[in-house]
């Protein structure tokens, strides 16, 4: 069976999905439209799959999330909809519920955050609400895993009995007459495309263009439709969309008056208002955000993460030493020995040693996201981003870009404006992804005193953002004229981050990093070792400067002479960095053939190292990110422009930085 999990944004949908599936989940694209979503098998029920649909507020086709959700529910064979709603804000959440009920698919309402309702001294008459809506209603607190098992049982039972919503007719007066008239008018067309006639009627009355195109009405039918809508608008005194919205909210108000008992105010909301008076202050909000991120980077790179990475490096070195001893005692061929130790172990091991640092960084970022603070950051950054031609909504993909550019570029799909989406995709790679973290860490540890290391790490992240802003200003004045679309978003109440969702996010990022280490980095390390070990006649070289790799590096290295680093090994590392940014460090580890921190000063001066860091910060994203750009913009030329444009920009900035440093 297939269950669809749908609801408003910030209603606890992700938390419930994690509780339902545990680790039995995977990511995939929705058919027809490239918006990513999660699917998973419900724990204890291997034959039941749940699909996590994008968070939406209605089934009107205004955003890509709404289009994807609607198309999925209409076109896929769904056994049951699990509609998760926020019990503390039930009036607004039920608006989507009524639209979902019109689809005539078996449905269960999961009434989330009942723990907060109890804490506020409020309650809901569950049985009475279920009878009024004609669907099962299950109270739960997803973050505490309360009521989840009961929800699964009732959803499976509802799906097995094909128990469709018992209440679908919640209209009256002129709107009632209009809906039923249109439903009769289009009934045969709706049957042809397997859409309930009432749902089709409400969409047509709202002026839904995709539904109109799908039904293929005749000119006479279109005239009759407009005549019915005009009569309704005249009688109600409002336009078509407002009339339907009023109809739904009138029904919701009556239901809530009978079922919702509110004796106290929301403590979580009052607490959030007090916190927001500081964190969203018009003067102090951005400095506070910068301060929070500085503390996170300091803890990640200077305290916790550095300590864990050092310990993990020692462990990896001991494992490599044991492998070395085993191969030596076995008497394996020296070339194969070199491949395993100097190639695979040096390359993969150098990258894996940064796994603890990445885990720590994502722990803090997921805490901020789960608490509701990141929504506030998007809100307070709106004014700043508008100066470079974007809205606060673009800040969400950019924040994701600190983890990985690929999902960040994909997240730009949700932006309503094509102009905003293109600008966001172009600017997102300027945010330092976690793949660049090993480069920063190795160079900072090799060239800077301990007390300067956290400062340099913070500087690199901020410098990338500043460069993104400068490019944004140029784009706004040249290629992307116009203003960003208005920005509206809901600020959820502050909540304690859910332990399980934080752990799941960290596990996903750690798994991605480990997978990359043993696939892309492994392959790159083997190729680099091969090119470094053999010359053009496939003879084993005693000096790597005579290898095939050296020839390639020597051809490219003159390009980087104005940037201060002329060693062919530096140029080679930058080339392999196009496959994955971690490959820069794995390549250097293979090439220097020893302790990379000790050997880097033989390749770079401190000034050249700073220039190299600036170049790696700004130059072309990895091949996976470029593929994402091509897929999202449907343009090879734009993807090529990003590669060439960012590389040229990185070269110019690094040259300026190096020559300015030389003055001092």
User: Average pLDDT of the chain?
Assistant: 85
Q: Tell me the CA distances in angstroms from 644 to 66, 637, 641, one per residue in order.
A: 35, 10, 5
Q: Tell me the CA distances in angstroms from 609 to 445, 613, 653, one per residue in order.
A: 11, 6, 14
Closest CA to 621 of 607, 608, 632, 610: 632
pLDDT > 70? residue 31: no
Higher pLDDT, 381 or 213: 213
- Rounded Cα distance, 206 and 202, in Å: 6
- Torsional class of 164: left (φ above 0), alpha (ψ -120 to 50), beta (otherwise): beta
> Please, what is the Cα angle at 267 between 264 and 272, to 5 degrees?
140
pLDDT at 650: 94
pLDDT at 34: 41
pLDDT > 70? residue 208: yes
- pLDDT band for position 128 (cuts 50, 70, 90): very high
Q: Tell me the CA distances in angstroms from 132 to 137, 159, 612, one per residue in order.
A: 10, 20, 66
% of the chain surpassing 70 pLDDT? 95
Q: Which has the minimum average pLDDT: 32-36, 88-92, 153-157, 309-313? A: 32-36
Alpha helices in 353-432 (DSSP H): 355-371, 373-386, 395-400, 405-411, 418-427
- pLDDT band for position 594 (cuts 50, 70, 90): low
When pLDDT is averaged across residues 70-77 and rounded to a whole number, the result is 86
- Output helix, strand, coil percentages for the chain, rounded to the nearest 5: 70, 5, 25
Q: Is the dihedral of CA 559, 645, 297, 658 positive or negative?
A: positive
pLDDT at 28: 46
Q: Could you tell me if 316 and 514 are in contact, meaning their C-beta atoms sit under 8 angstroms apart? A: no
Provide the residue ranges of all domains of the chain, joining segments of one domain with +: 2-160, 173-261, 287-452+481-512, 518-661
Q: Could you tell me if 572 and 552 are in contact, meaning their C-beta atoms sit under 8 angstroms apart? A: yes
Q: Could you tell me if 575 and 619 are in contact, meaning their C-beta atoms sit under 8 angstroms apart? A: no
Q: Could you tell me if 42 and 4 are in contact, meaning their C-beta atoms sit under 8 angstroms apart? A: no
pLDDT > 60? residue 35: no
- Rounded Cα distance, 199 and 48, in Å: 27
What are 28's strand-pairing partners?
A: 37
pLDDT > 60? residue 194: yes
pLDDT > 80? residue 33: no
- pLDDT band for position 226 (cuts 50, 70, 90): very high
pLDDT > 50? residue 576: yes
- For the chain, the straight-line distance linking the first and the last C-alpha, in angstroms and rounded, comes to 69
Q: Which CATH class is domain 2-160?
A: alpha beta
- pLDDT band for position 36 (cuts 50, 70, 90): low
pLDDT at 591: 81
What are 26's strand-pairing partners?
A: 39
- pLDDT band for position 482 (cuts 50, 70, 90): low
Query: Which tens digit of pLDDT belongs to each residue from 406-460?
Result: 777 877 766 767 778 888 888 888 888 888 888 998 898 889 888 888 888 888 8
CATH of domain 173-261: 1.10.287.1770
When pLDDT is averaged across residues 557-578 and rounded to a whole number, the result is 87
pLDDT at 125: 93
- For the beta carbon of residue 50, count every other beta carbon within 10 angstroms: 26
Closest CA to 316 of 352, 277, 286, 288: 352
Query: Which tens digit of pLDDT belongs to each residue from 264-290?
Result: 777 777 888 899 899 888 888 888 988
What are 150's strand-pairing partners?
A: none
């Amino acid at each position: 069976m297939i269950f669809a999990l749908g609801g408003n944004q910030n209603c606890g949908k992700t938390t419930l999905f994690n509780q339902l599936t545990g680790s039995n989940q995977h990511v995939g694209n929705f058919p027809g439209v490239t918006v990513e979503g999660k699917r998973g098998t419900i724990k204890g029920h291997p034959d039941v799959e749940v699909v996590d649909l994008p968070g939406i507020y209605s089934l009107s086709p205004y955003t890509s999330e709404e289009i994807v959700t609607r198309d999925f529910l209409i076109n896929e064979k769904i056994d049951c909809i699990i509609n998760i709603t926020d019990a503390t804000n039930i009036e607004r959440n039920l608006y989507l519920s009524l639209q979902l009920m019109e689809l005539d698919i078996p449905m269960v309402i999961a009434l989330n955050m009942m723990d907060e309702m109890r804490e506020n001294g409020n309650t809901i008459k569950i049985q009475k609400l279920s009878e009024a809506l004609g669907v099962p209603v299950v109270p739960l607190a997803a973050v505490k895993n309360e009521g989840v098992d009961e929800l699964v049982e009732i959803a499976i039972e509802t799906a097995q009995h094909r128990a469709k919503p018992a209440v679908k007719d919640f209209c009256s007066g002129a709107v009632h007459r209009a809906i039923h008239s249109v439903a009769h008018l289009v009934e045969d067309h709706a049957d042809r495309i397997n859409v309930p006639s009432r749902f089709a009627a409400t969409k047509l009355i709202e002026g839904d263009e995709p539904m109109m195109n799908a039904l293929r009405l005749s000119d006479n039918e279109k005239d009759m439709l407009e005549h019915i809508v005009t009569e309704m608008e005249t009688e109600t005194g409002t336009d078509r969309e407002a009339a339907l919205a009023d109809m739904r909210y009138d029904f919701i108000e009556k239901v809530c008056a009978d079922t919702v008992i509110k004796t106290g105010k929301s403590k979580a909301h009052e607490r959030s208002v007090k916190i927001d008076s500081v964190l969203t202050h018009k003067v102090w909000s951005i400095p506070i955000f910068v301060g929070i991120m500085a503390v996170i980077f300091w803890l990640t790179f200077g305290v916790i993460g550095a300590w864990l990475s050092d310990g993990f490096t020692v462990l990896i070195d001991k494992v490599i030493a044991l492998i070395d001893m085993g191969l030596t005692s076995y008497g394996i061929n020296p070339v194969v020995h070199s491949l395993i130790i100097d190639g695979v172990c040096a390359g993969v091991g150098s990258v894996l040693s940064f796994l603890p640092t990445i885990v720590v960084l994502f722990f803090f970022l997921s805490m901020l996201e789960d608490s509701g603070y990141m929504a506030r950051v998007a809100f307070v950054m709106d004014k700043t981003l508008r100066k470079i031609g974007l809205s606060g909504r673009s800040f969400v993909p950019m924040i994701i870009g600190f983890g990985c550019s690929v999902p960040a570029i994909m997240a730009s799909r949700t932006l309503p404006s094509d102009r905003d989406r293109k600008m966001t995709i172009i600017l997102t790679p300027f945010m330092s992804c976690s793949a660049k973290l090993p480069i920063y860490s190795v160079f900072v540890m090799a060239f800077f005193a301990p007390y300067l290391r956290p400062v340099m790490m913070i500087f690199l992240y901020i410098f990338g953002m500043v460069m993104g802003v400068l490019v944004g200003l140029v784009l706004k004045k040249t290629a992307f004229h116009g203003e960003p679309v208005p920005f509206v978003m809901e600020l959820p109440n502050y909540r304690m981050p859910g332990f399980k969702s934080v752990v799941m996010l960290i596990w996903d990022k750690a798994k991605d990093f480990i997978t990359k280490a043993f696939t892309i980095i492994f392959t790159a390390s083997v190729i680099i070792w091969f090119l470094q070990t053999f010359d053009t006649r496939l003879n084993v070289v005693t000096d790597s400067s005579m290898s095939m790799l050296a020839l390639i590096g020597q051809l490219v290295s003159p390009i980087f002479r104005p940037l201060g680093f002329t060693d062919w090994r530096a140029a080679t590392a930058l080339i392999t960095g196009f496959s994955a940014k971690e490959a820069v460090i794995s390549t250097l580890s293979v090439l220097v053939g020893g302790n990379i921190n000790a050997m880097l000063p033989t390749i770079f001066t401190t000034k050249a190292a700073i220039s190299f860091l600036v170049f790696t910060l700004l130059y072309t994203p990895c091949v996976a990110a470029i593929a994402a750009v091509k897929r999202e913009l449907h343009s090879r030329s734009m993807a090529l422009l990003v590669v060439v444009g960012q590389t040229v920009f990185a070269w110019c900035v690094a040259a300026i930085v190096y020559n300015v440093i030389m003055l001092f």
